[in-house]
Amino acid sequence: MAYQAQSTNTIQVTVLIAGRPYLLHINKTDEALMHRLAKAINDKITAFQDSQPSRDLQDCFALALLTYAVESHRANQAAGLIPTY
């Protein structure tokens, strides 16, 4: 059995996204960021649920993910990290 030592800067954090817990191993300096991001994701999911009540939770989760992917892609393009298509 292999043992992998964890860095002393690594902590375990559980965040709830769409009502489900996710255990993360993160750098302790990122803890507040992870909680803010989880809240932002949950807020986006809730906004989709409120604006599109016929959609189920999985659809709203996917739409929130796509929204953040587009925002990330645009930010990377603006920073010159990826080419424009």
Note the pLDDT of residue 2.
46
Residues 33-56: pLDDT tens digits?
999 999 999 999 999 999 999 999
Which residues 6+ apart lie within 8 Å of 42 measured at CB? 16, 17, 18
Q: What is the pTM of this model?
A: 0.80
Note the pLDDT of residue 3.
43
At 40, is the secondary structure helix, strand, or coil?
A: helix
Residue ranges in the chain modelled with pLDDT below 50: 1-3
**Which tokens hold the place of 15?**
């965040």
Note the pLDDT of residue 43.
97
Note the pLDDT of residue 13.
97
